[in-house]
Amino acid sequence: MKAILIFFTFFLTTTVGFAAKDKIIVVIDPGHGGNDPGYLSSNKAYLSEKELNLIIAKKFGESIEQQLKNVTVIYTRKDDSFPTLKDRVLIANNANADYFISIHCNANDKKHVHGTESHVHTMDAGKSVCLAKEFEKEFTSFAGRYSRGVKDTEDREHSLQVLKYTNMTGVLLECGFLTNESEAEYLNTANGQEKISSALFRAFKSYIIKQHPSISFIKEEPKKVDVVASNSPENKGVGYSIQIMSSKQAVDTTIPEFKKIDLPVARNEIETTSPYKYRYTVGSYPSQDEAKRDLEKIQQKGFKDAYIVKVN
Ligand SMILES: [Zn+2]
């Protein structure tokens, strides 16, 4: 009996051990590449679709790597190479990824057609549909785009190989129409690219937090090495602060953009493998609720991606 009990306990713990996931993998797939430019505008000042896809994809992936923990990002391409559609599927399936997100820009013969679309293989794929809806929601609420909604094989009247053959939750995004003058212009600006990739990040983040309650995605502020302009004497002990941005090179904390906030900005150099080793924070709050009040003000002053961090 004892032996059975020991065996049963062992079986239980190991099974639970295997079942509990502590990390997720996302494959980001910038559409086209190499000899396949995707949509090419007749306006030579505009980038090709393959270039825009890569810019947006990289910004999206960088935000995940900088701001979330326990997420591994794999790209199907990080340069102007062309993995075949079969290669892209294999990369995702072989990595046993949890998410596959393909990034494209759209085109249509009718120049007035505009808006964003999130494609899934089938409306029966519940998780993919939920994630797609989250993307469309942020395209509208955060980036102010017109959403054409979630589409599947029946809407398109054809299937998309990268969605059909990948084994995981998958969405193919069409970030706007390059054949529509105002969307082409928007997608070709740094601001447009930033907004679109931030919308993708916000959607992905809120989806995975809901989907994987057992995994912690919120990064705790690493140990501070050098506080250049500590804003308050009580900036010590456990509490919360608001991170407004990060940078590769040290930025002066008295620049006009920071002055708009009306609160002292602290630059912290942190120990990290990321090239973004300078983090800029505002305030020291004993609770998240107190930090939230200032967070809203800071976001209204232009730092829309500011977020609350835990300070050790
Ligand atoms: Zn495309």
Report domain 224-311's class. alpha beta
Q: How remote is the C-alpha of 191 from its chain's centroid?
A: 16
Given CA atoms 208, 213, 217, 221 in this order, what sign does their dihedral have? positive
CA 69 to ligand 1 centroid distance, Å: 30
pLDDT band for 256, please (50, 70, 90 cuts): confident
DSSP 220: B
CA 173 to ligand 1 centroid distance, Å: 9
pLDDT band for 249, please (50, 70, 90 cuts): confident
Same fold, 21-211 and 224-311: no
Q: Which of 206, 200, 252, 262 is nearest to 228 (CA)?
A: 252
Asked if the model's pLDDT at residue 10 lies above 50, the reply is: no
pLDDT value for 230: 41
Give mean pLDDT, residues 253-267.
88
Asked if the model's pLDDT at residue 286 lies above 90, the reply is: no
Asked if the model's pLDDT at residue 19 lies above 70, the reply is: no
pLDDT value for 215: 95
Phi, psi of 162 (to 5 degrees): -70, -25
- Percentage of residues in the chain with pLDDT exceeding 70? 88
Q: Could you report the per-residue pLDDT of 110-166, keeping only the tens digit for each?
A: 999 999 999 999 999 999 999 999 999 999 999 999 999 999 999 998 899 999 999
Phi, psi of 125 (to 5 degrees): -80, 90
pLDDT value for 5: 47
CA 53 to ligand 1 centroid distance, Å: 8
Distant-in-sequence, close-in-space partners of 289: CB < 8 Å, separation ≥ 6:
none
Asked if the model's pLDDT at residue 281 lies above 60, the reply is: yes
CA 145 to ligand 1 centroid distance, Å: 19
pLDDT value for 17: 46
Q: Could you report the per-residue pLDDT of 35-66, keeping only the tens digit for each?
A: 999 999 999 999 999 999 999 999 999 999 99
* CA dist., res. 4 & res. 12, Å (int): 12
CA 31 to ligand 1 centroid distance, Å: 6
CA 210 to ligand 1 centroid distance, Å: 29
- Percentage of residues in the chain with pLDDT exceeding 90? 66
Asked if the model's pLDDT at residue 188 lies above 90, the reply is: yes
CA 50 to ligand 1 centroid distance, Å: 7
Q: Could you report the per-residue pLDDT of 77-114, keeping only the tens digit for each?
A: 999 999 999 999 999 999 999 999 999 999 999 999 99
Distant-in-sequence, close-in-space partners of 138: CB < 8 Å, separation ≥ 6:
199, 200, 202, 203
CA 48 to ligand 1 centroid distance, Å: 10
Asked if the model's pLDDT at residue 11 lies above 50, the reply is: no
Give mean pLDDT, residues 287-295.
89
* CA dist., res. 215 & res. 207, Å (int): 13
* CA dist., res. 166 & res. 207, Å (int): 19
The CATH H-level superfamily of 21-211 is Zn-dependent exopeptidases (3.40.630.40)
CA 89 to ligand 1 centroid distance, Å: 16
Asked if the model's pLDDT at residue 16 lies above 80, the reply is: no
The ranges assigned to domains in the chain are: 21-211, 224-311
CA 28 to ligand 1 centroid distance, Å: 14
pLDDT value for 134: 98
Q: Which of 246, 241, 186, 211 is nearest to 63 (CA)?
A: 246
